Amino acid sequence: MRTITLAEWQLEGTEKFGKDMMKWMFECPVCGNVQCPEDFRKFKNYGAKPSDAYFNCIGRFAGCNNVPGKKTQPCDYSLGGLIQLVKTTVIDEKNQEHCVFEFASSNDK
């Protein structure tokens, strides 16, 4: 596991995807779904917010078809749940820790 500052995380995201954070791509560690903050806007009425893109799989809001033993996309995984599949923790300016999904390897969905 790695721990980085918010500034380091923002620099990494900007280098990979540009300055518009709404277009940064994150990958769910369970199902591999690739999503960006902008994707979550359409699920605002279900409680989704753009920051969910690096913490929750969009299936929590869009619906998912979890089948035991099968990998389906999107799923309903959350870093706030019982099973923590965290590889990166970001430390903000108030010294608080935030678990985040990994950046996707490309812009492809």
Q: List, for residues 51-97, the tens digit of each pLDDT value.
A: 999 999 999 998 776 666 666 679 889 998 777 888 999 999 999 99
**pTM recorded for the entire structure:** 0.87
| DSSP-based three-state secondary structure for 41 | helix
Burial class of residue 36 (count of CB atoms within 10 Å of its CB; 0-12, 13-18, 19+): buried
Strands (E) in the chain, as ranges, are 2-5, 26-27, 34-35, 88-91, 97-100, 102-103
Q: Name the average pLDDT for the chain.
A: 90
- pLDDT at position 63: 79
Average pLDDT over residues 41-58: 94
Name the strand (E) or helix (H) holding 20: none
How many other CB atoms sit within 10 Å of the CB of residue 57? 27
